[in-house]
Structure 1
Amino acid sequence: MADETTATTQAAQAIVPAVHVSQLVKRYGDMVALDYFDLDVQQGEIFGLLGPNGSGKTTAINCILALLTYDSGTIRVFGEPMTPTNYALKRRIGIVPQNVAVFNELTVAENIDYFCSLYVPKKAERAPLVEEAIDFVGLREFRKYRPGKLSGGLLRRLNIACGIAHKPDLIFFDEPTVAVDPQSRNAILEGIQKLNKAGATVIYTSHYMEEVEQICDRILIMDHGRHLALGTAEELKNMIDTGERIAIETLDLSDEALAEVRRLGFVIEATYNGRELEVRCRRGEHNLMDLLAVLRAAGANIGHLASRPPTLNDVFLELTGTALRD
């Protein structure tokens, strides 16, 4: 009977979202930053939160963390109301901000120890956590360095260690790979996936679509403070009208031939720069064959050609009207 009760309790806990936001409204005077915004992040997932600058991402995160008040709506974290004084709940949360937030006067180890002490006051309990965090981000040989001597990639790793040393159940990563080298980027992404496999729920924001597609289980796209679309990367791609993009090298495409291309029913957009024709297509099985038939009929000489499926950036562009990096 006890085993059944334990199993039932564990199942109930698993159903409770790590983060539940319902009908959240936040205004700054006449400006509406969050417009009845909804968000549900399930325990154990890596959740991507995407939006152009000014979309409300940072406001939403700050409201979830009880760093901002809001006008109306509901926020729950692990089933509990999130308030500025719910310190037990806050101890279960880790934050890795976009801007590196460490003390230049302290060493790597001292920085991690300080931030860990905000959640774990007893040094005896904290010491092994600090050492584990140092090893986790690969800073063992730099533990006595001050931040000013670290490269950009190593600083990012230190930033992560400071946010995760206390072993939080929910971790917010805000642009953790900005301006780092590819090797450090891969190390950071692998580290996030390891944290997730160890049981942490992750909310991840990034301007790098390939990262989001690589590590996120589900992705929410927001703009103007509103929830626009939610799903896996493939589900989001299937929501939009855009299909493949076709690029064809040709040096002698006439204006008349370009006009013929644009008249094709599956063509959303066609541009030509004198060297390459790029065509954004609607979904279809014979787009490339039909396009080549028009070019051959026009007498255009064709060089290299490539076709690629829609990307998350295409999804973002179609849903928001702007590229994520804007």
Structure 2
Amino acid sequence: MKTKNLLMLLAIAGMMIFASCKKDETPAPLTKEEATIELTSIEENYLTDIEGYETSEAAQAMSFAENLDLSFSNDLKKAPINNKESFQKSIVKTYYSFLAKENSDESLLDFDFENNVGTWNKVNGEWVRTPDQTNKIVVIFSFKGGTKNGTLTFYDYAKKTISFDGENETYMSNLSSKVEIVGMVNPVATRKYTANLSYSSTSMKMSFKFDYTLGIYSSTTSFALEGNRSGGTISVLNEIKKSDDIIRSTSFTMKLTDIQTGSLIVDAKYRIKDIIIKWAININSTTNFDGNPSDFQNISVWTAGGAKVADVIFRSEEGEWIPYFKFADNSEVIVSVFFSEQLMDNIFDFNDTLFYFNFK
């Protein structure tokens, strides 16, 4: 009996130790001094990395190739790497059409692959196709003063069929492309597009994903919408990495809980290197957006490891709501002390996007 009691005590002690260890896994909030160090260093190499991504040879080559005056690829210019806001709007329009019991292909990328398979060359200013390929489109172009030194290849094309209100509709579900330049490490850049849709009389689902590799950089943009006649959820991710390390990642999940009242719940994140800004937003058609932003959104800052850095609050100054960091000791410092004007603009643009998706 004593042995059995001893074993039970040891088991209970072990469980208590395990529970204590689990509890200790959550990092303590940073002190003001620690938070100041984190916030001061937030832009170290960040702007340099972003500029490096946007101006890299790989990005220039991909942008040049994607903007060739090819009539059959014009619709690909709607891809979010070129215009995220336009693509996001098209997704919301598609949901509006669903609610109105109408069909819509606003957000679908159209690409006439089958009729353009072959090798394309520019002859006397006109694109000429040679039907010498079986399952890919090869476009020969000149890049940065070279002569026919670039190749854009479209491949892995696939399509699916969905039924909407008794009618079948075919859409592109997969397309890969790559850019190769003579004298560079190839492929210089790649892109993979995937899409999946499903409709019924009462609900719909759609998802799109764009994966890019641009030399040492990579980016992912994904959109997902799931809705029915009473509400819907949109999820968006935009992420840029350098050698697998996150440079910037923005994401949000937006849930429309009541169409009639426009009730919307949003969870969002803006990550810069190892610092994450989080939003928790709750709004509806009666929300006063002219009042204190803190009345309808909670904003906080965290490390990637899970330690809280600060809360973000707003103070009214000369008719404007100015963001401040509020630290663990309740002291406050204006955000612009730590963030550059460019970073502030980027964050404000993201913040505006969260409210653009109001369904009302």
> Which structure has the bigger radius of gyration?
2
> Common fold, TM-score beyond 0.5?
no
- Where on the TM-score scale, by shorter chain, does this alignment land: which range? under 0.3
Q: Could you say which structure has the greater relative contact order, defined with CA pairs below 8 angstroms and 6 or more residues apart? A: 1
Q: Give the alignment's TM-score, normalised by structure 2.
A: 0.26
